[in-house]
Structure 1
Amino acid sequence: MLEELSVRNLGPIHSAQITPAAGLTAITGETGAGKSMLLSAIRLISGGTASGSRVSSGAGEAWSQGVFAVPDAAGDTDSDTTAPAVPTAPTASNAASKAVRYAEDAGITPEDGELFLSRVVSASGRSRAVLGGKTVPRSVLASVAGELITVHGQTDQLRIASAARQREFLDMAAGDDKQLAAYQRAWEALAAMDARLTKLRSQEAAACQQADYLRESIERINQIDPQPGEDKELKDKRDRIENAAAITQGVSTALTALDASQVNVDSDAVSAVDLVNRAVQALQGIRVGGVFEEQAVRLQSIAADLTDVVFALAQELDGEGDVEDLDRINGRIHDLNELMRRWGPELSDVIAWRDKAAFDVEDLDASPEKVAQLESERERLYREALAAAETLHDAREQAAGQLGTHVSEELESLAMSGASLRIRVTEHEGDGPTGPLGPHGGDDIEFLFTPFPGSPELPMGKSASGGELSRLMLALELVAAEQRGNAGGMTFIFDEVDAGVGGKAAVELGRRLARLAEDAQVIVVTHLAQVASWADKQFVVAKAENPDDGMVETTVTEVTGETRIGEIARMLSGSATETSLDHARELLEESTL
């Protein structure tokens, strides 16, 4: 949801800030006042094309920033990372979470549940995209904004004319996530198998030589059979053997000092442990507590430690190895070093290389038997993909009928009597190895719009004016939101949606915008009082003379109370008369769901 939009030095707007309502916000004002600049600001932070001509006269740069409320953590839903502003009505857990994930992929983490999207445009036309305070490519800004905001204006409607966008919209409205995911898993498995077969069939002598090299290397490694960490263990053992004499002498000397009986059983020398124990007995014999008892306890602990040391050192006198062991160990270390020199640098790398090479050999084995085996597996995967595509087709076809019927009903109430939408879902004709199947299923999807009775069905985008397309998109968004559920978290902006509308149809248009705003944030740029009266907040764009320099600039002001009644009256009759003011009050009172 858009919490705040700030603009500086963009066209006639030197400084403006709006805080849209969570529901419906209306942007009004006289023609030519500069309402289009607010849309330009939205398009800038959505990754749109920048132009230096939009910078205010005398200013070095223009700046626009949007603050969006988003979830604190990204969702798990996958999303296409391509272009922004797909006309859809996703759920909050879907779209906003995708936006957060795109931001996190770019190294940006939302702070306190907010994402800051901004754009700076210099007078020379160069621009800089900023996300969360960090400069990012414009495409990243576009991807993030595309999941948070959708603009329905004359230039934006053309996106829905593409087959890909129409397919995405239908899938969203159909709620066929499970069927689509199941198909895409089947398609990816089929595509991977096709790639594997293509690789096998195109192998030549070089690939066969590579397979031979891998087999020989695997055999050599298996002959030596290295074990994880074996080289370090062997080197430690070799060090002990090579220093056996010094170890024996040092340990013997230490044991002689501590307990000579461990070195010579016939020795009569008193051990250090015995001496300490005598000291303990002497202190305990005093039979006076305090410092004598404390020191006796300390000496007992020392005697126990000495006993442990003697035992540990005595163990080291045995099994230090001989010359024969040393020769065997050196030979083994040499073999392991050879492996690490060729496939290392570490022994773990050698083992990992061998395991991977075993799989690579299979892919390089282009024997007729292997190819036949993979072709059989490929046929099974193809049948599974076909079945998944058919299930997806059924879901799309059912949703297409419902969506088309309900949208046509909505159009009747939006001053488009007789207009209708039909969504055609047909099997794609393909003669390649995958037949009709593609990454998104086996269907061709086309939105066909009839603007008036008797008109032929024409592809959407080629059969309606900008205003008609805006109303058609409003109808689509309304029906999709009702079919799929809550669209909270998404911001919809409608421009020119009221073109050619008046009277009762204008009231119905406002009612439907308010209905959509129950589940999503909606911002509408309108000339109609019957639409603006439904808004939770209303902002007026107007030209005014700056008292400081006498220059005319555009201001953006929220109107409330009597000021709003006056603006509604102006929209109704062009001036605020008693009659128009009364009419405005009545209109505001009646504009409730």
Structure 2
Amino acid sequence: MLEELEIRALGPIRQARLTPHPGMNAITGETGAGKSMLLNAVELISGAQAQPSRVSPDSEQAWVQAIFDVDKDTDIQELAASAGSECADGQLFINRSVPKNGRSRAVLNGHSVPRTVLTNIATQLVTIHGQSEQLTIAHSARQREFLDSFAGNNEQKQTYISAFNHYTRIKDKLEKLHNAQSEAIAQIDYLKDAISRIESIDPHVGEDEDLKSQRDYIENAAEIAVAQASALSALDGSDDDNGNESVTELISRAIHSLRDVESIEQMADIISRLESVSDEVQDIVYALSQLGDDEVNPQDLDRINERIHDLDELSKRWGPTLEDVLEWKQKAQFELEDLDASPQRIHELEEQVEQAHKIAQDAAKELTQTRVKASHELAEKVTQELASLAMEGSELRISITNRDLDITGADNVAFEFVPFPGSSALPLGKSASGGELSRLMLALELVAFENKHGQGQENYSVPTLIFDEIDAGVGGKAAAELGKRLALLARGAQIIVVTHLPQVAAWADRQFVVSKEKTDDNATTTVSLVEGNQRVEEIARMLSGSQSDMSLQHAAELLEECTLS
């Protein structure tokens, strides 16, 4: 629901602030006073294209802000949050600035957002039935959506969408297999060869590093043997022909020398440390002697180099590590299963496509049945509403024809309008004038509201409905009935109507007057809430163009009569 609309420097409106009633609101005023600028303001916060030419002549930019109550609308709150602009206290703030030069700026809850974000959100908040906006109902897609909403067939729609998506997925898979069969066969051959090559070499994680270590040892075996013998001679001395004492002997002699003073605490500690060193040296001597016992066969070098070459080849093609090679092989095996282009696999998919198509067709038939049933009821009720809106003899017809399956079903939905008895039924937008189309939209909204209200739904799907030029060509009792129908619709939705008819304005819960004040330089437009005697005077002006005693009396009587029981 729109709680507040504030406008600055938009056309002739220097500054205005409206606080609409939750029910029905009437916007009245002399022709040319600037009522259209109020609609322009709503269009701007709805993401419409900015027009710098509408900025007031003595201002650098126009600015519009709307505040909506979205406390009960979790969908809108989630939509705002997804745009990075969470709602606070159940309120949604939208403002739009339009400079004379440069780009306009859209702000949602204090955060700048793309204009498309406003469009997505505003379509959930406001529906404008004006000269251009009302033509959206002329589109077949919008008509189908309206009919589905009236039919309440969401369960059948979801069942069908699920079946259709399953059908298209399998169909796409089969077409891909057919269209790229030669490529698939080449890919299959490649994967099979690659997997076979990897399996024939049978690599193990870390095997290449172990082999390179063995190769290094073999290639340096002679140098290793010399170093090993020299180290053993120095440490152990058992093979020393020169009679030099080894490290172990020197340590042993040092320990023996200190035994005489072992009772001294400091000496005992040193002896203990020397014994530890002696044990460590002996372990090293043992390790070196064991290493020396390994027999090195230079002929193994060719075998190891050949194995390393094979492993390196795998790593270069599918690595960089052997672990990566093995992971690639596993993924290739899964891909090979998906690319199976054998006649048997193709036949299996063809059977699956046929079965999925039948399921989707059956679901589409059930969806069509709901639409056909709802189309008869909707057309009949709207035609009855048109009669009460000074359009007796006019008729809404809804045709549903078959077509190929798509995501929306198997139906072409067309709303057709018969303006008078005997006339041909023509598509909306081609057969109705602006005023007729506005009243047709009102009839559609009324029937939709009554349908939802009858189903016990508390919240109307579109919180704010705006009607412009809905009273074109209407007068007398028909005008009063038009106002009454709007007031009835306002029981479940916030209504804002721009009207010239006192019989319509009198039904409103709140009335705003747009007036133009001329000065020496230019003219400015003001927007004022009228209540009490001021409202009686405005209704009187609308009735007779003056405020005579008689017109004031008629105005007061009209306001008193225009209340819903």
1:202 aligns with 2:179: yes
**C-alpha distance in 2, partners of 1:416/1:345?**
80
Q: 1:375 to 1:582 in 2, by over 3 A?
A: same
**C-alpha distance in 2, partners of 1:50/1:570?**
35
Q: 1:32 to 1:407 in 2, by over 3 A?
A: same
Q: TM-score, normalised by structure 1?
A: 0.72
- 1:527 is aligned to 500
- Look up the SS of the partner of 1:442 in the other structure: strand
Per-residue deviation, 1:424: 0.7
Per-residue deviation, 1:348: 10
- 1:562 is aligned to 533
- 1:29 is aligned to 29
**C-alpha distance in 1, partners of 2:192/2:86?**
48
- 2:563 is aligned to 592
Per-residue deviation, 1:395: 0.1
- 2:62 is aligned to 62
414-423 or 114-123: which moved more? Answer: 114-123
**1:476 pairs with one of 429, 444, 463:** 444
**C-alpha distance in 2, partners of 1:226/1:418?**
86
- Is 1:196–1:363's contact at 8 Å kept on the other side of the alignment? no
1:419 aligns with 2:394: yes
- 1:286 is aligned to none
**2:360 pairs with one of 379, 385, 392:** 385
Per-residue deviation, 1:217: 6.4
**C-alpha distance in 1, partners of 2:436/2:561?**
26
Question: Pairwise mapping of residues 149-228 of structure 1 onto structure 2 (< 5 A)?
Answer: 149-214=126-191
- 1:87 is aligned to none
- 2:243 is aligned to none
Q: 1:341 to 1:111 in 2, by over 3 A?
A: farther
What residue identity is the alignment partner of 1:491?
Answer: T
**C-alpha distance in 1, partners of 2:470/2:418?**
18
- 2:515 is aligned to 542
Matched residues, percent identical?
52
- Is 1:478–1:512's contact at 8 Å kept on the other side of the alignment? yes
- 2:263 is aligned to none
- Look up the SS of the partner of 1:474 in the other structure: helix
358-367 or 61-70: which moved more? Answer: 358-367
Per-residue deviation, 1:576: 1.6
- Look up the SS of the partner of 1:437 in the other structure: strand
- 1:303 is aligned to none
Per-residue deviation, 1:451: 0.8
- Is 1:100–1:144's contact at 8 Å kept on the other side of the alignment? no
Per-residue deviation, 1:207: 3.1
Listed one character per residue, the Cα deviations across residues 460-511 of structure 1 (whole Å, up to 9, x for unaligned) are 1111110000000000011012223441652110000011111111111111
**2:372 pairs with one of 397, 400, 407:** 397
**C-alpha distance in 2, partners of 1:104/1:345?**
45
Q: 1:219 to 1:515 in 2, by over 3 A?
A: farther
Listed one character per residue, the Cα deviations across residues 74-120 of structure 1 (whole Å, up to 9, x for unaligned) are xxxxxxxxxxxxxxxxxx66xxx1x4443333222222212222222
**C-alpha distance in 2, partners of 1:115/1:343?**
54
- Is 1:170–1:400's contact at 8 Å kept on the other side of the alignment? yes
Per-residue deviation, 1:212: 4.3
381-390 or 170-179: which moved more? Answer: 170-179
**1:119 pairs with one of 70, 82, 96:** 96
Gaps of 5+ in 2: 207-289, 292-306, 454-458
- Is 1:51–1:125's contact at 8 Å kept on the other side of the alignment? no
- Is 1:129–1:141's contact at 8 Å kept on the other side of the alignment? yes
Listed one character per residue, the Cα deviations across residues 385-412 of structure 1 (whole Å, up to 9, x for unaligned) are 0000000000000000000000000000
Report which of the two structures shows the higher radius of gyration computed on alpha carbons. 2
Question: Pairwise mapping of residues 393-542 of structure 1 onto structure 2 (< 5 A)?
Answer: 393-428=368-403, 436-485=404-453, 486-487=459-460, 490-542=463-515
Listed one character per residue, the Cα deviations across residues 101-153 of structure 1 (whole Å, up to 9, x for unaligned) are 43333222222212222222222473222222222222221111111111001
- Is 1:527–1:571's contact at 8 Å kept on the other side of the alignment? yes
Q: 1:378 to 1:499 in 2, by over 3 A?
A: same
Q: TM-score, normalised by structure 2?
A: 0.75
**C-alpha distance in 2, partners of 1:102/1:567?**
41
**C-alpha distance in 1, partners of 2:428/2:192?**
59
Per-residue deviation, 1:366: 1.5
**C-alpha distance in 1, partners of 2:16/2:386?**
35
- 1:11 is aligned to 11
Listed one character per residue, the Cα deviations across residues 136-188 of structure 1 (whole Å, up to 9, x for unaligned) are 22222111111111100111122111111111111111111111111111111
- Is 1:22–1:520's contact at 8 Å kept on the other side of the alignment? yes
- Is 1:173–1:481's contact at 8 Å kept on the other side of the alignment? no
- 1:137 is aligned to 114
**C-alpha distance in 1, partners of 2:329/2:6?**
59
Gaps of 5+ in 1: 73-91, 232-321, 324-330, 429-435
**1:580 pairs with one of 526, 551, 556:** 551
**C-alpha distance in 1, partners of 2:70/2:90?**
5
**C-alpha distance in 1, partners of 2:92/2:330?**
45
- 2:212 is aligned to none
- Is 1:466–1:496's contact at 8 Å kept on the other side of the alignment? yes
Q: 1:425 to 1:148 in 2, by over 3 A?
A: same
Question: Considering only aligned residues, what root-mean-square deviation do their CA atoms show, in Å?
Answer: 3.3
What residue identity is the alignment partner of 2:387?
Answer: E
Aligned length: 464
Q: 1:196 to 1:421 in 2, by over 3 A?
A: same
**C-alpha distance in 2, partners of 1:498/1:438?**
39
What residue identity is the alignment partner of 1:149?
Answer: V
- 1:236 is aligned to none
- Is 1:183–1:441's contact at 8 Å kept on the other side of the alignment? yes
- Look up the SS of the partner of 1:147 in the other structure: helix
- Look up the SS of the partner of 2:474 in the other structure: coil
- Look up the SS of the partner of 2:405 in the other structure: coil
What residue identity is the alignment partner of 1:141?
Answer: L
- Look up the SS of the partner of 1:181 in the other structure: helix
Per-residue deviation, 1:30: 0.7
- Look up the SS of the partner of 1:377 in the other structure: helix
52-61 or 216-225: which moved more? Answer: 216-225
**C-alpha distance in 2, partners of 1:21/1:160?**
27
**C-alpha distance in 2, partners of 1:459/1:354?**
61
- Look up the SS of the partner of 2:536 in the other structure: helix
- Is 2:71–2:89's contact at 8 Å kept on the other side of the alignment? no
- Is 1:413–1:508's contact at 8 Å kept on the other side of the alignment? yes
